[in-house]
Structure 1
Amino acid sequence: MKIALLGYGKMGQVIERIALERGHEIVLKKEEKNTFDGLSAADVAIDFSVPTAAVSNISSCFQANVPVISGTTGWLEQYEEMVALCNQKKGAFISSSNFSLGVNIFFELNEYLAKIMSKFDTYKVAIEEIHHTQKLDAPSGTAISLANGILANSSYTNWTLEKPEANHLSPNELEKQIPIKAKRIGTIPGTHTVNYNSAVDAIEMKHTAHNREGFALGAVIAAEWIVGKQGVFTMKDVLELK
């Protein structure tokens, strides 16, 4: 399989190594200022760039009829626009806040737990995420995905970064917010915790990434899966979690 890497930072380099180990070929390593030369020769593109480059990268893949896997976060206000372009061009697309196999299992457990906990209003949920100091966006895309999984399976109505101030929300509105705490510490690749706390006890669920290997492996597995397909998919499709 011929792969175009759109973004060649630390993640791109790990993806390259894992792809080569799995017998694939890299035909383009695009950094911020170089061109898309070589993209049309690719069987699939993997985008781990920066928020400001993601839409251009993904659009270029659809224009070149190349399936694209995107792990870039911080640009998702334009996600529906990219979905529409994918469908228009009859392309193939997976965007995920986290391609780690473990994290995607964690997402499933999070949704299941949220359904159970929605029956017990004495517990209040909160999310904490910890990443390295070079991470550009906060909260992380993974934390937002966790929050969205809870929102879809509970009476909570929104998430907010840190705990919201009561002076602009009514007590009832305040109760419906999921607070997310984002920490940036050292070189930590990613730790996410979902905590349900009550006056008498707490239930905590945590995923800790030891390195970038899991993110990269999941992205390559997704790239292998999407070749030859058409449409917009998720990691639930790749891992048959639906």
Structure 2
Amino acid sequence: MNIALIGYGKMGKAIEAIALERGHQIVLKIDETNVADLNAEKLAAADVAIEFTGPHSAFGNLIKTIDANTPVICGSTGWTERLGEVETKVKEHNGSFLYASNFSVGVNLFFELNRKLASLMATHPEYSVSLEEIHHTQKKDAPSGTAITLAEQLIENLGGSKQQWVNEPSDKPEDLFIKSLREDPAPGTHTVRYQSPVDDIEIIHTAHNRTGFATGAVLAAEFIKDKKGIFSMKDVLGI
């Protein structure tokens, strides 16, 4: 499979290493020095593109890739207020698109655990819930996309007790507090905590390096290569 890497920082290099190990070829690498090369002519050599940049460039990169009719995997976070526009564009072009706030297989299993636990806790209002995420100091957005996904799952499954997430402490009972910490080195730790007067319940996912994220992104690219439509990691993993 021929892959275009849109974003060639630490994550892009980790994806490249996994892709080469799995027998794929990298036919295009885009970073801040050659953004003009992100065009239909260059993308024509790729079976799939993997986009890992940042909040301010992801949307434009995706639009260019979809316009070029190249299937695209996106792991950039902090831009998803425009996700609906991208999905509309994909449908108009009969394209292929997969977005995930986190591509790690372990994190996606953690998402399912979080959803299930929240549904169980919905009938136990004596427990208060909070969420904490820790990442390295170079991370460009806060809270993390993974934390937002976890928060949205909690809001959906806790029976209406939480209405919105906030990134600062709040005394409103309907607010779900996401505490964001930036420390080095920290590839990513996410904790969902339920506290009551008698006990605490916690579920935690801790990443040790970028390998899990990179492997999941390549698995997603392999999955989407010959498909049309809008997908998620649940489709890739058969969840």
Gaps of 5+ in 2: none
Superposed CA offset, 1:147-175 (max 9, x none): 001111111111110312x4xxxxxxx11
Partners of 1:86 and 1:226 in 2: CA distance? 13
> 1:30 matched to which residue of 2?
30
- From 92, 112, 115, the counterpart of 1:111: 115
CA contact (8 A) 1:32 1:53 kept: no
Residue 42 (structure 1) aligned with residue 40 (structure 2) = no
Partners of 1:36 and 1:136 in 2: CA distance? 22
Tell me the secondary structure at the aligned position of residue 228 of structure 1.
Answer: coil
CA contact (8 A) 1:192 1:206 kept: yes
Superposed CA offset, 1:41-86 (max 9, x none): 1000000111111011111111111110000001111100000001
Residue 162 (structure 1) aligned with residue 168 (structure 2) = yes
Q: Scaled by the length of structure 1, what TM-score is found?
A: 0.95
Superposed CA offset, 1:180-237 (max 9, x none): 0000001210000000001110000000000000000000000000011111111111
Partners of 1:28 and 1:91 in 2: CA distance? 20
> 1:193 matched to which residue of 2?
191
1:163 is aligned with what amino acid? P
Q: Scaled by the length of structure 2, what TM-score is found?
A: 0.96
Partners of 2:102 and 2:185 in 1: CA distance? 17
Residue 232 (structure 1) aligned with residue 236 (structure 2) = no
CA contact (8 A) 1:2 1:41 kept: yes
Superposed CA offset, 1:74-119 (max 9, x none): 1111100000001001111111110000000000000000000000
Tell me the secondary structure at the aligned position of residue 45 of structure 1.
Answer: strand
Alpha-carbon shift at residue 176 of structure 1 (Å):
1.4
1:161 is aligned with what amino acid? N
Alpha-carbon shift at residue 39 of structure 1 (Å):
1.2
> 2:7 matched to which residue of 1?
7
Tell me the secondary structure at the aligned position of residue 175 of structure 1.
Answer: coil
CA-based RMSD of the aligned residues comes to: 0.8
Partners of 1:187 and 1:67 in 2: CA distance? 33
Question: Size of the alignment, in residue pairs?
Answer: 233
Alpha-carbon shift at residue 32 of structure 1 (Å):
2.0
- From 45, 58, 64, the counterpart of 1:60: 64
- From 141, 145, 151, the counterpart of 2:149: 145
1:32 is aligned with what amino acid? E
- Runs ≥4 residues deviating over 4 A: none
1:225 is aligned with what amino acid? F
Tell me the secondary structure at the aligned position of residue 227 of structure 2.
Answer: coil
Partners of 1:209 and 1:188 in 2: CA distance? 8
Partners of 2:124 and 2:174 in 1: CA distance? 14
Partners of 2:32 and 2:221 in 1: CA distance? 22
Partners of 1:64 and 1:142 in 2: CA distance? 29
Partners of 1:145 and 1:101 in 2: CA distance? 15
Tell me the secondary structure at the aligned position of residue 157 of structure 2.
Answer: coil
The percentage of aligned residue pairs carrying the same residue is: 54
The 10-residue stretch of structure 1 (69-78 or 30-39) with the greater mean CA deviation from structure 2: 30-39
